Amino acid sequence: MMRRRLLGGVAASLIGLSVVIRMFSQTPGPKAPRQASWELARDAIKDGGPRPGIPDFVNWLTAREIYPCEDTLRKSPAVRDLFDESFHYNPKAAARLCGPLTLAPGAPPMDRALGFWERSNPRLSAIDPPFPSGAQLSAAFWNPVRLPVDPNQGKVVELPVRSGDRTITRRIRITIPEQARAGSAPCGPPKGQGEPATAGVQDVSLDDFFWVRLNRGERYNGASCGDFAVLVAFHLVHKDQGRWLWTTFWWDPESQEFGAGRPRDFQGAGDRPRVWAKYAMDASFDSTGTIFNPWRVEERGSNCAQCHAEVTVYPDRAAAQTISFDSVTAARAHFK
Ligand code: HEC
């Protein structure tokens, strides 16, 4: 009798122990932001179609494709001018951008919800539900490089890179390898002027960046068919376990500090998948502390979440009420 009870007790505590072990293994603690960011980005930089060689985060729908909301859920990205707009939303984000404003019965999709919100009482102060885990937003920053007539010419660019909380400016000259020249034939002869080599300005091959050749009909800041759009930086914002993870990448193959923890297999779209490891990264869940992208001089703030929390609130001046779009700018811009 004694013995059975004892065994029962052992069994019970073993079961208890295994429940505890399972709980720990099923709910991993929150990942450090940098580690989470490298992993989430690794998927977002993969080739996503429909245009081959283009990372998924550039293929996601743009706001102009998402709105108006009719049909949005059935839309898949078209082959389009990639430089027309630089902000993109993954399917989960797009679905929420077109979901009902709130859980209230009859709440219309966000692009037709302004009147509904104004008439509702009390007025909700935030979209409900917020964006789901797995929603992602991106912004791509390109630098146009014209194909020079003279193969010895290149383009001198200023390269802001981050060191600690400071920005350092490097000057480099982007040069065009022979192979990249060759592919421009269908666009006719090159038209770019270019600049000669200069002492103190390091030559860097175009192939050290992720780049896209502009197709016929594509234009970007003076570049056209046969020229290049060079990816100098990008933002990825992920909803991860209920929180926004703000991440920013910029070209700097030398940064130890912001290259730390990059997975060995950090490879993405294009003919040179390893080129993606030349981008440095910073990431944060927090609305305090420093996180900025040296390429985005117009965004003077040093914290993504803090600024976005302000710019993504829609104020109704008459009633001194506001609605927040879960810190996502695009929803606000299309709230009508
Ligand atoms: C000082 C303010 C400010 C800061 C700081 C800032 N942003 Fe933004 N961001 C904006 C504004 C304003 C827009 C929208 C611009 C527009 O609609 O033309 C925007 C747009 C974006 C978009 C496009 C998608 C969207 O609808 O919001 C992404 C992605 C983004 N920012 C990420 C970031 C990340 C990551 C950081 C930090 C590294 C950051 N931002 C820092 C103000 C800021």
Closest C-alpha residue for ligand 1 atom 16:
329
Closest C-alpha residue for ligand 1 atom 41:
304
Would you say residue 227 lies in a domain?
A: no
Q: Is 139 a pocket residue for ligand 1 (Cβ < 6 Å)?
A: yes
Mutate to test the pocket of ligand 1, among 110, 235, 239, 250 (most ligand atoms within 8 A of CB): 235
Would you say residue 107 lies in a domain?
A: yes
Q: How many whole angstroms from 113 Cα to the centroid of ligand 1?
A: 23
**Euclidean distance between CA atoms 310 and 289, whole angstroms:** 16
Q: How many whole angstroms from 151 Cα to the centroid of ligand 1?
A: 37
For the CA of 236, the nearest atom of ligand 1: 29
Q: How far is CA 320 from CA 51, 110, 120, 150, 258, in A?
A: 46, 20, 14, 61, 42
**Euclidean distance between CA atoms 316 and 117, whole angstroms:** 10
Residue for token pair 């013995």: 3
Domain count, the chain: 1
Would you say residue 1 lies in a domain?
A: no
For the CA of 306, the nearest atom of ligand 1: 5
Domain of 79?
A: 30-141+233-336
Would you say residue 90 lies in a domain?
A: yes
Q: Is 301 a pocket residue for ligand 1 (Cβ < 6 Å)?
A: yes
Q: Is 195 a pocket residue for ligand 1 (Cβ < 6 Å)?
A: no
**Euclidean distance between CA atoms 93 and 60, whole angstroms:** 10
Would you say residue 167 lies in a domain?
A: no
Q: How far is CA 77 from CA 100, 252, 332, in A?
A: 22, 30, 22
Q: Is 334 a pocket residue for ligand 1 (Cβ < 6 Å)?
A: no
pTM of the model: 0.89
Q: Which are the contacts of 79, defined by CB distance < 8 A and separation ≥ 6?
A: 50, 51
For the CA of 328, the nearest atom of ligand 1: 27
Closest C-alpha residue for ligand 1 atom 40:
304
Residue-by-residue pLDDT tens, the chain, 336 positions: 334 444 444 444 444 444 444 444 444 556 799 999 999 999 999 998 888 899 999 999 999 889 999 877 777 766 677 777 889 999 999 999 999 999 999 999 999 999 999 999 889 999 999 999 999 999 999 999 999 999 999 999 998 999 999 999 999 999 999 999 998 889 999 989 999 999 999 999 999 999 999 988 888 889 999 999 999 999 999 999 999 999 999 999 999 999 999 999 999 999 999 999 999 999 999 999 999 888 876 666 789 999 999 899 999 877 689 999 999 988 898 998
Would you say residue 55 lies in a domain?
A: yes
For the CA of 138, the nearest atom of ligand 1: 29
Would you say residue 246 lies in a domain?
A: yes
Would you say residue 86 lies in a domain?
A: yes
Q: Is 246 a pocket residue for ligand 1 (Cβ < 6 Å)?
A: yes
